[in-house]
Structure 1
Amino acid sequence: MRINLVLELLDAPGQLVKVLEPISTVGANLVTIIHKRDYKNDDGMVPVQLTLEGEHEELKSVVDKFEELGISIIEVDGVVKKEKITTIFFGHIVDQDLRDTMDRINALDGVVIVAFDIKLNGEEKSTALINIEADIGLRKAVFDKIAEIAQEKDLLVINEV
């Protein structure tokens, strides 16, 4: 049996080796690997395509190990599994309990904040750019949670279209 995966890895030394180790420990075989360093996104992440061969349980174990290690699996056998969502908060973000905002978004199943950049302007209102990775089909739930938080904390929110 074969499985084709597209992973997203930080373009840093040791990341590719981190991915290869679980494959050998469960007894699966690496058929092909394409490491696309020319396609780095704004977060410094690059896609890595893998074709693996093995028994069903071995391949499932590899995927499970990747998830345990926090390795983002973007695509499995041509089916997209994750999507990127970007939103901007504007207002008194720090004064409105930044940790609570992040925890409430991360509390959604299948959703994780992968980057949070804040621009402070002294005592004035701040701007936060939030990059979220979510399982396919959760976009509306993410936007609903963001709208709820923004309304409660009196923040302006700008979601991607």
Structure 2
Amino acid sequence: MKMNLVLELMDVPGQLVSVLEPIGTLGANLVTVIHKREFKNEQGMVPVHITIEGERENLFNVIQKFDDLGISIVEMDGVVKKEMISTLLYGHIVDQDIRDTMDRINLLKGVVITGFDIKLDGEKESTALITLETDYGKKQFVFDKIKEIAEEKQLLMINEV
């Protein structure tokens, strides 16, 4: 059985080697590696396309190992595993501890803030555009959690910008 994966890795020395090492130890074979360093995202992550083959159980052991190591699988056999979503918050965002808001969102499993743009209007209310990367299928969960935070901080939330 073959499996095509797109991983997101930090573009630092040794990262690729450390990711490839478990493949052989878990009984799978590495067929192809395409490391696209020129496509680095805002977090310094680069896509790495790999093809592995082996027994079904061994391939799923590799996937589990990647998960244990915190390696993000963006795509598996052409199926997107991550999606980008965005939302707006409106109100006294700075006064309501913007750092706490961001930290609480980043604590959600499978969610990373990839962009946070704020428009300030002096002492008046401000608007923040939050762009997030989340595991595929978790969009409603993420929106619900952000809504809880927004309501607690008396901020208006507008989904899917």
TM-score normalised by L of structure 1: 0.77
The amino acid across from 2:148 in the alignment is E
Gapped regions of structure 1 (runs ≥ 5): none
**Preserved contact between residue 33 and residue 48 of structure 2 (Cα < 8 Å):** yes
Q: In structure 2, what is the Cα distance between the partners aligned to 1:116 and 1:102?
A: 13
Residue 153, structure 1, aligned to residue 153, structure 2: yes
Alignment of 1:91-106 (within 5 A): 91-93=92-94, 95-96=96-97, 98-99=99-100, 102-103=103-104, 106=107
**Preserved contact between residue 93 and residue 127 of structure 1 (Cα < 8 Å):** no
Q: Which position in structure 2 is the counterpart of 1:9?
A: 9
Q: Secondary structure of the equivalent of 1:41?
A: coil
Q: In structure 2, what is the Cα distance between the partners aligned to 1:80 and 1:105?
A: 21
**Preserved contact between residue 113 and residue 130 of structure 1 (Cα < 8 Å):** no
The amino acid across from 2:107 in the alignment is N
Alignment of 1:97-136 (within 5 A): 98-99=99-100, 102-103=103-104, 106-107=107-108, 111-113=110-112, 131-136=131-136
**Preserved contact between residue 105 and residue 142 of structure 1 (Cα < 8 Å):** no
**Preserved contact between residue 22 and residue 62 of structure 1 (Cα < 8 Å):** yes
The alignment's C-alpha RMSD in Å is 3.0
Q: In structure 1, what is the Cα distance between the partners aligned to 2:105 and 2:44?
A: 25
Q: Which position in structure 2 is the counterpart of 1:33?
A: 33
The amino acid across from 2:110 in the alignment is V
Q: 1:81 to 1:157 in 2, by over 3 A?
A: same
Residue 67, structure 1, aligned to residue 67, structure 2: yes
Residue 51, structure 1, aligned to residue 60, structure 2: no
The amino acid across from 1:72 in the alignment is S
Q: 1:10 to 1:128 in 2, by over 3 A?
A: farther
Q: In structure 2, what is the Cα distance between the partners aligned to 1:94 and 1:43?
A: 27
Question: How far off its partner does 1:136 sit?
Answer: 1.4
Q: 1:115 to 1:50 in 2, by over 3 A?
A: same
